[in-house]
Amino acid sequence: MKRKLYILLIVFIMIMNFTVISFADDLDNEEVVDVSAEILASSTNLQSNSKIPQLNSRACVVIDRNTNTILYGKNENTKRKMASTTKIMTAIIILENCNLTDVVEISKKAAGTGGSRLGLHTGDKITVNDLLYGLLLCSGNDAAVALAEYAGNDLNGFAELMNKKAENLCLNNTHFVTPHGLDNDNHYTTAYELALLSNYALNNAIFAKIVSTKNYSVCINGNYKSLNNTNELLGYLNGVYGVKTGFTNGANRCLVTATKRNNLDIICVVLGADTKKDRTRDSINLIEYVFSNFEMIDIENIIKNEFENWKNSNQYKFQIIKGKSNTVNVQLSDIPYNKFPVNSIYKDDISININTDYTFSAPLYKDSIIGTLDFIINNNVIFTLNIYNTDTIEKKDIYFYFSDLFTNYIMYLENF
């Protein structure tokens, strides 16, 4: 009998340990990482080698915030679990749909959620605003469930809100099941789409303020509790101003980082790093690589100058068959970006290619597209702009021919 009880006890302990490990999230903080040492090592390596650093993370991406251009990618379109970086979407749903001053009473379900926690108990009362700080700073899974229940009635209802928002943002390779990101095979995103979501979220001033906060005190039942941001790069790496950490066994270590230096503003995402040190090192190395090799180029002036030169050289080449005029006033569609990030090795490989017909049949209506302009870097077309005419050129009719004949006859008589 004692032997059976002993075996059952061991099995119970094993199950409990497995449950804790499987549901862990952002509990890798006991792993101490010397961020300053990693920053120094990255700086030293980049001085001797400008090539892309060796990376541990399974998927990575760096995008320019102004254009969403990918500056570096590794498996950036591969679907992966994303752990607590999920909470970026959770926060956006709350910020766009809820009153931050509302007071939430914590349910038994929320209080019993495992993994990283704000430390809520059944019946606790806390504002939506403070739950957001608990969600994004200390990555509280209990705060995530409390917010989901508050905004979506239950987790399924909140997941519907998350997926609808993902659809609206055209995140076609992203799907949410939970508000916290604990492992689920149907809960996934890609590094690139997570970067796009983060870029969108950072346009919300309250979200940007929270994720840039290093320390904060929340009020639970009238008592204050101090929180520390889990983002190990915030306050250490030059220019970092957010965004979110993540860790589960299925997702491994994840980190989304926003960094701005001068006029280059980027988001770096690393997913699936083996250790916290790996995700820190990969993030630092990618960020430093991009800032060492990319710069923002004033492409608006380049495009406008090339287009004006082309227009001045070609405006008299147009022929409008049976048109009342051959004068085509051309205009370029709006340039999407004033500046564009360019790798320094390709600064001399920027070119403009203009394609247009010169012969058209009347009538040629206003705003008809008559050609295109390609903006090219290193033989790759970055974007294409339309060239259109600004005025309608009407087709000649019988009255035009009579008028023309009469005018020519009068001129003949005057010269006779």
Q: Is 296 left (phi over 0), alpha (psi -120 to 50) or beta?
A: beta
CA nearest neighbour of 256 among 43, 83, 71: 83
Catalytic choice (42, 57, 84, 116): 84
SS3 content of the chain, % helix, strand, coil (to 5): 40, 25, 35
Pair 157, 167: CB distance under 8 Å: no
Compute, in degrees rounded to 10, the torsion defined by CA atoms 317, 318, 321, 327. Answer: -120
Catalytic choice (57, 139, 198, 283): 139
CA–CA dist 154, 148 (Å, integer): 6
| 84 belongs to the catalytic site | yes
Catalytic choice (74, 87, 165, 276): 87
In the numeric block, the tokens 């230096």 are attached to 261
| 57 belongs to the catalytic site | no
Q: Is 356 helix (H, G, I), strand (E, B) or coil?
A: strand
Packing angle of the helix pair 35-48, 276-293 (nearest 10 deg): 40
DSSP character string of 197-263: HHHHHHTSHHHHHHHT-SEEEEEETTEEEEEE---TTTTTSTTEEEEEEEEETTTEEEEEEEEEETT
| 368 belongs to the catalytic site | no
In the numeric block, the tokens 């541990």 are attached to 56
Residues designated as active site: 84, 87, 139
